[in-house]
A and B are shown apart, each in its own frame.
Chain A
Amino acid sequence: MGEARILLRDASSAAAAPADVERKLGVAELLWNDGFVRKTVIVILLAAAWEIYGVLLDNPLLFPSFHDTVISMYERIKDGTIPLRAWASLKVLFMGYVVGIVLAAIFTILAISTRIGTDFLETVTAMFAPLPAIALLPLALIWFGLGNGSLVFVLVHSVLWPVALNTHSGFKSVSNTLRMVGRNYGLRGLPYVARILIPAAFGPILTGLKIGWAFAWRTLIAAELVFGVSSGQGGLGWFIFENRNLLDIPAVFAGLLTVIVIGLVVENLIFRTIERNTVQKWGTQT
C-alpha cells in the first residue's frame, strides 16, 4: 500500500507580493450606490422634462410650467393656505389610518386563533377589498352626515382590508420552527402574537401598512375632491377643487404637487427609516 505525501507551499513568496484584498470604491461609484441619490436624479430629470414641456407649450391655463407651479406653491405656503389644508387632510387621515389598523389587528388576531375566524377574514376581505372606498362615500354621507365622520369611515374601509390581508398572510408564512420555539418558551395567546408572530411577520405587515397608507391618502384626496368641503375647513382635495373653479391652474398643480411631496416624504422618510431599523437590520428583507 502506498502513502499519500503532503507538499507544503512556501508561504514567503505570497508574503513578498501581497495581493489587493480590498479596494476602496471611488466617490462617483459610492454616490451612485446610494438609492437616495439615484432617485433624486430621477426626480430632477422629471422636473426638467416638465419645465421644458411647459415652456414650449406656453399655456399656463392648460399646463403651467414647473417654475410657475413652484412659485404658486411658495406663495400659498407663505400665506399659510397649503400648510393649513394639508394639516386638515392629515388629521383626518391619521384618525382613519389608526382606527383601520386597530380593526385590522383585531380581525387578524381572531383569524389566527380560530379556524372560523380565518374563514371569516378571508371571506370578508375577498368581498370588500375590491370595493372602491369612494363608492361608499354617498352611503357614508347619509349615515354620518357631511363631516369628518364620513371621511373616517371611507378611510377605515380603504386601510382595513389591505392591512388585514397582508398581516394575515404574514402570520401564516411564519416558519413552523419559529412557532415551535415560541411555544417551547411557554408563550401563548397575546404574548405569543406580540413576541413571536408580529416581529417574525414584520416584513409583510410593513408592506400592508404602506399599501394601506397609499390607499388612504388617495381615497381622502378623492373624497374631498368629489364632495368638496366638510364642516368648516377643507383639506388638500378641496384646495385643488376650489382653485380649479377659480381657474387658478398653477395653484391646482401646486396642490397636486403637495399631495405628491407628502406621499414621497412619508414613503421615503418614515417607512424607509422603519425598514432600515427593522427588517433590513434583521436580514429578513433586503
Chain B
Amino acid sequence: MAALLDVSGVTLRYKTSSAVVTATERVDFSVDRSDRFVLLGPSGCGKSTLLKAVGGYMKPSEGTMRINGREISEPGADRMMIFQEFDQLLPWKTVLENVMFPLLMARKLPRKEAEPRARAYIEKVGLTRVVDSYPHTLSGGMKQRVAIARGMAMEPDILLMDEPFAALDALTRRTCQDELLQLWSETKFTVLFVTHSIAEAIKIGNRILLLSPHPGRVKAEIVDVDRVSAEDGSAAKLEKQIHDLLFAANATAR
C-alpha cells in the first residue's frame, strides 16, 4: 500500500537577514493512513519547519514531499494545520463560525450542510455549551479544542499538529491528550504531531521519528509505540531509552 504522505530526502533551508540556515537535511519518512506519527526532537532539530513544509508554507531545497501521490506545492485544506498559538482562532467569529469558516471557504459547502457538521464536531470535543461564544472568552484548553474540532470537521487527508498542547498547563494538557486519543479511536484520522516532550510523543504516537539537531537529521524511527503501556512501566522504560539516545548524541557532538 502506498503511503499517504511520503517525504524523501528533504532538505529545508531558510534565509535569515544574514545567513542561510539549514533546518533539516535529507529527511525521509512516510506516514500511512490512520498513523499517529510524531516528530520528536530537541529545539533546533527542524521539526516545526518540517511540519510547515508539509503544510506547504515552504519549499524544500532538495527532495520531494507527496501527499496521496501529489507533490506538495502550496498550503491547502487537505492538510489542516493546528498551531500551538492560542490566536489561531479568528477572534471576530464565534466558536461555531470558526469551525464552519473553512467548510464554507475551502470546501464550498452550503451553509445548511456546514452548520450541522460543525456542531457535530464541536460536540465531539465537548464544547456545545460555548458554541456561540467568541474565542476571547474561552480558556487556552478550550481554544485548542476548537482548533482541533475545526481541523477535524474538514476531514482532511492529514491533520498537522504543531505542539498544540505545549502552551497549556500540565493538567489541561493531559486531558487534551486523552481526548485526542479518544477522538482518534472514534474516527481513525491521520495525524502528524510535532512535540519536544518524550512523554507526550509516547502517549500520542504509534510511530515516532527521532530527530537530532543542527541540522535536523533522522536519528531513529520508533515503531509500535502503542504497544507500550504506562501501567507495566514499559512506557517509562521507552522514555528513558529515547532520553538516553538524545542525550548520548549531545554528549558525543560536543
* Interface of A toward B, CB cutoff 8 Å: 175, 177-178, 180-181, 183-187, 191, 195-196, 199-200, 202, 278, 281-284
Contacts and interface: CB of A to CB of B under 8 A. Distances in A.
B81 A181 contact: yes
B91 A282 contact: yes
A184 B81 CA distance: 7
Contacts of B105: 185-187, 191, 195
Contact of B102 (A178, A185, A282): A185
Interface in B229-243: none
26 contacts: A177-B83, A177-B85, A177-B88, A180-B55, A180-B81, A180-B83, A181-B88, A183-B57, A184-B75, A184-B77, A184-B80, A185-B77, A185-B101, A185-B102, A185-B105, A185-B106, A186-B106, A191-B105, A195-B105, A196-B90, A200-B91, A200-B92, A202-B92, A282-B92, A283-B135, A284-B136
A186 B136 contact: no
Given A177-B83, A282-B136, 15 more contacts: A178-B87, A180-B75, A180-B81, A180-B83, A183-B74, A184-B79, A184-B102, A185-B106, A186-B76, A186-B77, A195-B105, A200-B90, A282-B92, A283-B135, A284-B91
Contact of B55 (A177, A184, A196, A199): A184
Contacts of B77: 184-186
A183 B75 contact: yes
Nearest to B78: A186
A183 B73 CA distance: 13
Nearest to B79: A184
Given A177-B87, A180-B57, A185-B105, A278 B92 contact: yes
Interface residues of B, number: 24
A196 B137 CA distance: 20
B105 to A, nearest CB: 5
B85 to A, nearest CB: 4
A200 B90 CA distance: 8
B184 interface: no
A186 B92 contact: no
B106 A283 contact: no
A2 to B, nearest CB: 22
B88 A178 contact: yes
A282 B92 CA distance: 5
A177 B136 CA distance: 16
Q: Name the 3 nearest CB pairs between A and B, nearest first.
A: A283-B136, A199-B92, A183-B75
A232 B138 CA distance: 58
Contacts of B135: 283
B90 A178 contact: yes
Query: Which of A175, A183, A199, A278 counts the most B-chain CB atoms under 10 A from its CB?
Result: A183
A180 B92 CA distance: 17
B96 to A, nearest CB: 15
Contacts of B189: none
A177 B88 CA distance: 6
Contact of B90 (A180, A191, A199): A199
Contacts of B91: 200, 282-284
Nearest to B55: A184
A281 B88 contact: no
Nearest to B150: A181
B162 to A, nearest CB: 10
A283 B86 CA distance: 13
B29 interface: no
B38 to A, nearest CB: 21
Interface string B98-126: 00011001100000000000000000000
Nearest to A174: B87
Q: Which of A177, A195, A281 has the most CB of B within 10 A?
A: A177
Which of A177, A183, A185, A281 is the most central at the interface, judged by chain B CB atoms within 10 Å of its CB? A185
A199 B88 CA distance: 14
A282 B88 contact: no
Contact of A281 (B87, B102, B134): B134
Contacts of B74: 183
A196 to B, nearest CB: 8
A3 B106 CA distance: 56
A71 B137 CA distance: 50
